[in-house]
Amino acid sequence: MNADSPKRLGRGLNALFGDQEPSSSETVAPPARAPAPAAAPPAPPAAVVAASTGPVTRLSVDLLAPSPYQPRRHFDETALDELAASVREKGVLQPLLVRPDAAKPGHYEIIAGERRWRAAQRAQVHEVPVHVSDLSDAETLEVALIENLQRQDLSAVEEARGYQRMLEEFGHTQERIGEIVGKSRAHVANTLRLLNLPFSVLQMLEEGKITAGQARPLIGIARAENIAREVVKKGMSARQTERFAKSFGRKRRAAASMLPKDTDTAALEESLAKATGYKVAIAFDGTGGTVTLTYGSLEQLDDIVHRLSTGGQRRDLNDDD
């Protein structure tokens, strides 16, 4: 198969990953009207295409196990029960994609098709059809991401963690990840930023209590969990969440500026003023804050910059060098 035919490769990947038996139309030429480029699925690695056209064998479900490179962690129980009912009646129609388990001879890791494997177990089906392929760890993660993203089965957090593994374990750039999964570099970057949210907010996102659009405005915001709970309670949209997060930050800063300084903060300001020779102000909003030095001339600014860059060494303001 020609490696530079992304539309053909994409069709092969869809057939491989589908939960429904492919129709005969998938073996004929595509319609004359070409689909929009944005709708074309990403082309899988060449090794995957070869695997999808290779021989099909049957393996016991006991010889299969989920891959550690599977980005998906949450499986909807109701959807699994529905798939199990279908498997019980018709069997598993589409082969799973697996690779040999290096740690357990005779056993295999599931690269694509874990839902079908789980459903087969619930349906008490003891064997499933599989394609066996020797894929690398990087290809395994790539394929698992592509499969789940094409199905829209991943939560935003699972997607972000998958991208993070591709960055950290396999040295992919954000641009390369976008090429692999058929997303823009900006989408990859924005998805990765979600991992900067507090764990509690990430958990709400994984559980579907908030959406990625509602979560993004909370990145880097103090008390993000409190805001997220208000968002859920009031049923705010993503745009309303953004406005609320901004107003929440302004109110906290205004309230903090009106509070009298505690004695420890005032003493610290005085100590720093004596040590530096400049007026020092410390502001704290309960989570973080600022330290402000006030200067009265460009020479004093130059002195501050010099001392910060030299570990505190005072500059002679009469020195013209």
Q: What residues act catalytically?
A: 114
Cα–Cα distance, 196 to 216 (Å, whole number): 10
Question: 248 Cβ partners below 8 Å, 6+ apart?
Answer: 221, 223, 227
| 22 secondary structure, DSSP code | P
Give the pairing type, strands 127-132 and 96-100.
Answer: parallel
Phi and psi angles of residue 47, each rounded to the nearest 5 degrees, phi first:
-65, -30
Question: 207: which 2 tokens?
Answer: 């559980």
Residue pair 144/72 in contact (Cβ under 8 Å)? The answer is yes
Q: What is the largest CA-CA distance in the chain?
A: 91
Distance of CA 275 to the CA centre of its chain: 46
CA–CA separation, 35 and 312 (whole Å): 63
Instruction: Phi first, then psi: give them for residue 111, nearest 5 degrees.
Output: -90, -45
